[in-house]
Amino acid sequence: YAMLLSLIFLIVLVAAVVGFVFRHEIKTNFESNLNLALRGYNGTTDRHGEAVDTIQRTLHCCGVQNYSDWERTEYFTHRGIPRSCCKSQDDCSEDDLKDPSKAKLKVFVDGCFFLVTSTMESKMSIVAGISFGIACFQLVGIVLACCLSRYITNNQYEMV
């Protein structure tokens, strides 16, 4: 049991170090995938489209860097900026979304990449604290498992 806990502890430790070391690559990869999701967005309920809509609705953002990123997509040429970018769903017509100058007043202008990464970084201390707590419990479990093993081994050879 102590060996199993030690293995899990090492895996978590390695994952944390790798995540910290490669955080810039993770950001770059996220940005390129968000750009790909925008280019492939077609307004249907595929998982990439739903993810883009959810991010934009939840974080009150639009596009990768800003709302004008949508102008370079095929979706924009047909239908304009998606409704998930609208500040108010009632005050957002399709004609407004097709005109970038009108859309600027009706949609969120901030890009999603900065908001997602800043939200992740702000929650990182909470994740680190919880991970540290779990690691402490694992270390206590390893020590107690070793003590139990030693106690059982010592008592096995006593005379009855």
Q: What is the pLDDT of residues 43-66, one digit of tens each?
A: 766 788 888 899 999 999 999 999
pLDDT at 143 > cutoff 90? yes
State the chain's mean pLDDT as an integer. Answer: 86
Q: Taking residues 133-160, report their average pLDDT.
A: 81
Q: What pLDDT is stored for residue 112 in this prediction?
A: 92
CA 37-43-44 angle, to 5 degrees, is 100
pLDDT reported for residue 158 = 57
Q: What residues contact 13, with CB distance under 8 A and at least 6 apart?
A: 135
What is the 3-state secondary structure of 65-79? CEHHHHHHCHHHHHH
| pLDDT tens digit sequence for 26-47 | 889 989 999 998 888 887 667 8
Q: How confident is the model at residue 151 (pLDDT cuts 50, 70, 90)?
A: confident
Query: Is the pLDDT confidence value at 159 over 60?
Result: no
Pairwise pLDDT comparison (157 vs 20), residue with the higher score:
20
**Which domain range does residue 107 map to?**
1-158
- The total number of structural domains that make up the chain: 1
CATH assignment of the domain containing 69: 1.10.1450.10
Confidence category of residue 156, pLDDT binned at 50, 70, 90: low
State the Cα–Cα distance between residues 17 and 66, nearest whole angstrom. 32
For the cut 90, the answer to whether the pLDDT of residue 140 exceeds it is yes
Enter the pTM of the model. 0.68
145 CB contacts (<8 Å, ≥6 apart)?
1, 2, 5
